[in-house]
């Protein structure tokens, strides 16, 4: 397995509030428009419920991420379904103050030596963009 870790970001909300929003994927309704905004053509949300999120990723196709574990206020773990590459993703949360949370996203993927050079850079860029997105979500 190859690991890709995002940069650590600071979210100006408590870890409880961040976990509450992120651990229930039906909350995506509140900010789906921003995620499907112009300029974000490579990724489009196609469906979601409390425990799963389906996205269309250009040029890969449709991938569904299902929450497989929730550790309150600390970790949300996802497993990819119908992905061309077996991969897991998790969001780590660490309270750094009453209204501040440090967060990092980690992706682990099974990459064969042939495909690794082609997908490593896009995967790293993707986890960093996801981490940046965590900072601007409406946690109110």
Please tell me the predicted confidence (pLDDT) of residue 112: 87
Domain range spanning residue 80? 2-136
Please tell me the predicted confidence (pLDDT) of residue 76: 98
Residue-wise pLDDT tens digits, 4-27 = 999 999 999 999 999 999 999 998
Structurally, the chain folds into a number of domains equal to 1
CATH, residue 98: 3.30.530.20
Nearest Cα to 25, choosing from 48, 45, 54?
A: 48
Sites in the chain below the pLDDT cut of 70 = 32-43, 58-59
Helix (H) or strand (E) holding 67: strand 61-71
Residue-wise pLDDT tens digits, 125-139 = 888 988 988 898 888
**Per the confidence metrics, is the pTM higher than 0.85?**
yes
Please tell me the predicted confidence (pLDDT) of residue 89: 95
């Amino acid at each position: 397995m190859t690991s890709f870790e995002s940069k650590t970001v600071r979210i100006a909300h408590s870890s409880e509030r961040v976990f509450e929003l992120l651990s229930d994927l039906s909350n995506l309704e509140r900010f789906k428009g921003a995620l499907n905004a112009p300029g974000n053509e490579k990724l489009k949300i196609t469906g979601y419920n409390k425990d799963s999120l389906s996205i269309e990723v250009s040029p890969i196709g449709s991938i569904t991420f299902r929450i497989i574990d929730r550790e309150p206020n600390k970790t949300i773990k996802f497993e990819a379904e119908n992905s061309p590459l077996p991969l897991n993703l998790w969001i780590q949360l660490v309270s750094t103050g009453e209204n501040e949370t440090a967060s990092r996203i980690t992706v682990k993927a099974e990459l064969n030596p042939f495909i690794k050079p082609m997908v490593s850079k896009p995967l790293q860029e993707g986890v960093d963009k996801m981490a940046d997105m965590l900072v601007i979500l409406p946690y109110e």
